[in-house]
A and B are shown apart, each in its own frame.
Chain A
Amino acid sequence: MKRNLPLLLVFVFGVLGIIPFIIPHPAVQTTDEFLRNNLLKILAAFALILGLGSLLRVHMDKIRRKGQNWEYSWVLIGTFAITSIIGLFGGVSGTGILPTRIGNFAFDIWTIYFNVEVPLGAAMFALLSFFMASAAYRAFRARSAEATLLLTAAFIVMLGVLPLGNDISPHLPSFAQWIMDVPNVAGQRGILFGVALGMLATALKIILGIERSWLGGGGE
């Protein structure tokens, strides 16, 4: 029963997930929307409680053990507590019972999100340019025939999109575009065919209960 019930649920909900793709009738679409938007959100809310519990437990444990950089765990727990209180009692944009504005200084959840989380995320994203440079250096070292081919193709494409490329040869930009449109797209499509069939096979295996590793262990 412990195994069969999840398998039955996966089969039923898997089939229910396929049906709306081919049946446009509102009765089916509304049910699908309910399952995806409402039911999944309720599940996610419960899972979020478990998730946050795990996060706090890990950091409390780190503080107790005085693990490496344990002081930062206090920062996490402190900011978690502050934003939770502001979010729960101050409302999303300062409309709750807790005042979230002192003069012109607002500290409601939206303000915190746009002024703290978004810039921090942008800073991490900006690191990508540096990592890209180091990855490019690694990729373009001509150590093998394939790497040399990659280097040559990249060099042509980069030259092709620059005004300099057109000055060197008027055919260079169109050749660079050909590399992007033909060999590049062909390779991507080859991978995508495999991905699509792999997805179909994995979905079938899960719906039919053949693939059970997601249950943990996978045995009977």
Chain B
Amino acid sequence: MAFVIMAAFFAIAPPTAVHAFDIPDDGGGAIRIEWRLSEADSQLTRYEIYRSDNGTDYEKIGIMGRGRNLFDDETEDGKQYYYKVVAVFDTLKSFSDPSSPAMSSAQWLNRKKINIIIAVITFGGLILFFIQHARHGKSLFVRRIAGLQAIDDAVGRATEMGKPILYCPGIGYIEDIATIASLSILGEVAKKCGQYDTKLINPHCDPIVYTVAREIVKESYTDVGRPDAFDPDSVYYVTDSQFAYAAAVDGIMLRERPATNFLVGWFRAESLILAETGASTGAIQIAGTDQVSQLPFFVTACDYTLIGEELYAASAYISREPLLLGAIKGEDWGKVIIGAILIAGSLIGLLTVFPILNLFE
């Protein structure tokens, strides 16, 4: 009798409006359960979530703390599930009404990425437009990039001094765009080395990058009519360990004393170790990376630095191929659009109540 009175006295309001639904824009296998908190939420011990696949037999599948009203359940796609949420206070439990049935399924489009898709299509379209524009023979102006302008001088200097050129592509993998851009520049540098008969040293940190680089250098020597000048041992693999690679490249700098060091590609903490060692040998240093955190080190210790996008523009700049230059023009227009959106968005955000930031989520 006393227990019944106590239970009645402490009767707790159950959670309400339990809503189960397939999580949108996912690969399936999950249902989200949301509920309105119990009116006695602040007094509760926890919430328990129960699941049934027939609407009658429920089993506990999870617990959530008070104040929480959302739970993601792992499910089997194509199967219906019912859910109940239970408010628990000590040993007392108060069950919600069951949710309507929910079924998980895999989606074919992630709608959260539609804004990114629109942006990519817009900028991709711009780039293709200017490539097409260039295909029709329209001349395109590209501003002077000091680091790339210096490549000729750097190779010439090495030739005059009878010293080699060191080309370090960083520690990136072949899927890194910076590494691919670096390999494009390597091809151009190798051509000049072939023309001037200057020794090229090209140590690598990744075996796949090494094999690609070896082919590029070989082709470049062939392109300038000097296949005989290609030394297969000038391009070699060292190690995939970051600091062992840095130690090896430092050793090359100190032993071989290259006249020019190219540090172009994807770098991490080893950037300063390499750049400072190179600077101490008196070599001309041309660096380039898209890693913002490493750029200050290169700017400080190197003679020329390709900053971010300049690295990607290098191939077009050196080869002067109209189609590649067209892509740079497209990038510039992309930046104009981004700038305009930033200014317009800032003004709308400051001067109106329109939730402009929601468009970019």
Q: Is B89 close to A, CB under 8 A?
A: no
- Cross-chain contact A200 with B127 (CB below 8 angstroms): yes
Q: Is B58 close to A, CB under 8 A?
A: no
Rounded to whole angstroms, the CA-CA distance of A216 and B215 in the bound complex is 6
Complex partner residue of B276 from A48, A131, A197, A214, CB under 8 angstroms: A131
Rounded to whole angstroms, the CA-CA distance of A30 and B235 in the bound complex is 36
Name the distance in Å between A217's Cβ and chain B's nearest Cβ: 4
Binds A, one of B49-57, B293-301, B345-353: B293-301
Please, which residues of chain B bring their CB within 8 A of the CB of A50? 207, 210-211, 237
Please, which residues of chain B bring their CB within 8 A of the CB of A197? 123, 309, 331, 334-335, 338
- Cross-chain contact A202 with B180 (CB below 8 angstroms): yes
Rounded to whole angstroms, the CA-CA distance of A198 and B327 in the bound complex is 9
Known pairs A191-B307, A195-B290; A47 contacts B208 (CB<8 A): yes
In chain A, what residue has the closest Cβ to B135?
Answer: A210
Rounded to whole angstroms, the CA-CA distance of A26 and B309 in the bound complex is 35
* Number of chain B residues whose Cβ lies closer than 8 Å to a Cβ of chain A: 88
- Cross-chain contact B295 with A121 (CB below 8 angstroms): no
- Cross-chain contact A217 with B204 (CB below 8 angstroms): no
- Cross-chain contact B109 with A22 (CB below 8 angstroms): yes
Q: Is B62 close to A, CB under 8 A?
A: no
Please, which residues of chain A bring their CB within 8 A of the CB of B26? 24
A44, A132, A201, A219 interface centre (most CB from chain B within 10 Å): A201
- Cross-chain contact B184 with A213 (CB below 8 angstroms): yes
Binds A, one of B36-44, B78-86, B158-166, B216-224: B216-224
Rounded to whole angstroms, the CA-CA distance of A138 and B330 in the bound complex is 37
Known pairs A24-B106, A193-B335, A213-B319; A201 contacts B243 (CB<8 A): no
Please, which residues of chain B bring their CB within 8 A of the CB of A58? 233, 236
Known pairs A200-B123, A217-B222; A47 contacts B207 (CB<8 A): yes
Interface residues of B in 194-226 (CB under 8 A from A): 204, 207-208, 210-212, 214-220, 222-223
Q: Is B170 close to A, CB under 8 A?
A: no
A61, A194, A199 interface centre (most CB from chain B within 10 Å): A194
Known pairs A194-B335, A200-B124; A44 contacts B27 (CB<8 A): no
In chain A, what residue has the closest Cβ to B110?
Answer: A24
- Cross-chain contact B335 with A201 (CB below 8 angstroms): no
- Cross-chain contact A54 with B181 (CB below 8 angstroms): no
Q: Is B312 close to A, CB under 8 A?
A: yes
- In the assembled complex, 14 residue pairs joining A and B whose CB atoms fall closer than 8 Å, in A order, are A25-B27, A54-B214, A120-B243, A124-B247, A135-B275, A192-B308, A194-B308, A195-B292, A195-B308, A195-B312, A198-B309, A199-B177, A216-B217, A217-B187
- Cross-chain contact A44 with B207 (CB below 8 angstroms): yes
Which 3 A-B residue pairs are closest in the complex by CB-CB distance? A216-B219, A51-B237, A51-B207
Please, which residues of chain B bring their CB within 8 A of the CB of A120? 243-244, 247
Q: Is A104 close to B, CB under 8 A?
A: no
Rounded to whole angstroms, the CA-CA distance of A58 and B109 in the bound complex is 50
Please, which residues of chain B bring their CB within 8 A of the CB of A144? none
Rounded to whole angstroms, the CA-CA distance of A16 and B177 in the bound complex is 17
- Cross-chain contact B127 with A198 (CB below 8 angstroms): no
In chain B, what residue has the closest Cβ to A139?
Answer: B300
Q: Is A69 close to B, CB under 8 A?
A: yes
- Cross-chain contact B327 with A205 (CB below 8 angstroms): yes
Rounded to whole angstroms, the CA-CA distance of A214 and B247 in the bound complex is 27
